[in-house]
Structure 1
Amino acid sequence: MRTAAGRDSAGNSRRQRRRQSHRGKGPRNYQRSDERVQEDVNDRLSDAHWLDASDIEVSVAEREVTLDGFVGSLEAKRRAEDCAEAVSAVAHVQNNLRVQRHGTQEAAAGSD
Structure 2
Amino acid sequence: MPGYLLVSPRRHVEHVVRDLDEESYLDLMRVVRKVALAVESVVPSERTYVLSLGSQQGNSHLHWHVAPLPPGTPYERQQYHALMSENGLIPWTREQAEDLATRIRQAL
Larger radius of gyration: 1
Greater helix fraction, Structure 1 or Structure 2: 2
Greater strand fraction, Structure 1 or Structure 2: 1
TM range (shorter): under 0.3
TM-score of the aligned structures, taking structure 1 as reference length: 0.26
TM-score of the aligned structures, taking structure 2 as reference length: 0.26
